[in-house]
Amino acid sequence: MKTEKSDFWDVVILGAGPAGLSAALTTAHRGLKTLIIEAKEHAGGQPSFLYSEKRIIDIPGFPDGITGADLSDRVYRQALNAEVEFRFNEELVQIDDTDKVEKDDSLFCVITDKAGYHCRKVIIAVGLLHYPRKLPLLDALKSDQVFYKIPKISDYSGKRVAITGGGDSALDAAVMVLERHGAVDLIIREDIPAGKEDTLKRIKECGGDVHTSSEIVSAAFSDNLFALDLGGDIIHCDIVIVQIGFLSAKDTFKKLNIKLKDDSSVAVDSYFETSREGVFAAGDVHGDIELITVAWAEGIQAAIYAFKEISSPYWLNERRLKDRKMSLISEKIIAAASGNMNLK
């Protein structure tokens, strides 16, 4: 593993999804030397990986919607124009403290599977969920027609497609297939899907077959088609799209020496700083509301607080002291009011 010894970054951002890209734009525009490290081969995160050809209609400023690929490309180009640098195909290993000091800041060393990068602040924006959950009984067929992300239109246009999953990504995939003259069997394990009700209604109106309280119990090939057994009900299809969630990045987070919440997401304070001073987190990585616009906003906020720590080293500690004093005052007022009520 090589380590960049002669240089350092003001901010290293882990993840080139919506939160990471918006954070990088914010720090770069404020004159901070910024690097993004991304595990995949290109920027964009989930909008690019999961919704590449899906038209996203809830992004402000795009009244006709925009595809995940186009949205990701636009923000990536903005980052390049702001002179953000990128390292792709590098997996995070750990974040080490070092004895190096630059501009009164002790440097971290962000270590990947390929190199080490010294920096003053770190922003974690890798997303809470890393890899799609697999279905071993489908993987055992060793078919290139089993997809764990939304395939290209040419892969499913006009074909019969089985989609398993009840969340928004599964329901959205069903709509995309139906809109391109395909046929859909939507397989949902629960009685009521977790995805949007209006999307489910649209699937039914477009002729999609919805199988609730169902799951694939066995799978085989029959006449060049998948034969999926739903516990007695056999359906045949050309393609299977699996959208049953993602595996947690908990094991990665544990190695970073930061506090996690019960759901294995990263705990942050009101300034998006983790339990480890100088390490911030934004987006789905800590996440309560998993929306692109929320990730953008949190990336910006985390970046501004990181910038404040760099430009005004004691700023955040002073704010925390003030917050603590206000909290203590509020607690005393509540306790006094409660005591008066008990006397009555």
pLDDT, tens digit (0-9, with 9 covering 90-100), for 249-303: 677 787 888 998 887 789 999 999 999 999 999 998 886 777 889 999 999 999 9
Under a CB-based contact definition with an 8 Å cutoff, are residues 48 and 58 in contact?
no
For residue 184, the number of C-alpha atoms closer than 13 Å in the C-beta half-sphere is: 31
Kindly state whether residues 170 and 315 are assigned to the same domain: no
Domain count for the chain: 2
Helix residue ranges, H only, the chain:
18-29, 46-49, 68-81, 136-139, 153-156, 168-179, 197-205, 250-254, 292-311, 315-343
User: 243 Cβ partners below 8 Å, 6+ apart?
Assistant: 132, 148, 163, 164, 165, 167, 169, 170, 173
CA 226 – CA 143 distance, rounded (Å): 10
- Domain boundary residue, one of 219, 244, 269: 244
**What's the pLDDT tens digit per position in 75-107?**
999 999 999 999 999 989 999 999 999 888 899
Intervals of the chain under pLDDT 70:
1-6, 128-131, 247-249, 287, 324-325, 327, 330-332, 334-344
Kindly state whether residues 239 and 254 are assigned to the same domain: no
In this structure, the number of other CB atoms found within 10 A of the CB of residue 21 comes to 28
CA 307 – CA 123 distance, rounded (Å): 11
Which residues span the domain enclosing 198?
134-244
Kindly state whether residues 152 and 287 are assigned to the same domain: no
CA 23 to each of CA 28, 52, 183: distance values in angstroms, whole numbers, following the listed order: 9, 22, 41
Kindly state whether residues 125 and 271 are assigned to the same domain: yes
Q: Specify the pLDDT at position 58.
A: 83
Kindly state whether residues 158 and 193 are assigned to the same domain: yes
- Domain boundary residue, one of 209, 229, 244: 244
Instruction: Tokens for 87, please give them.
Output: 């390292």
CA 17 – CA 249 distance, rounded (Å): 15
Kindly state whether residues 123 and 21 are assigned to the same domain: yes
Whichever domain contains 224, its CATH number is 3.50.50.60
Kindly state whether residues 186 and 68 are assigned to the same domain: no
β-strands 209-211, 218-222 pairing:
unpaired
Kindly state whether residues 143 and 185 are assigned to the same domain: yes
Kindly state whether residues 109 and 184 are assigned to the same domain: no
- Domain boundary residue, one of 198, 215, 244: 244
Kindly state whether residues 227 and 268 are assigned to the same domain: no
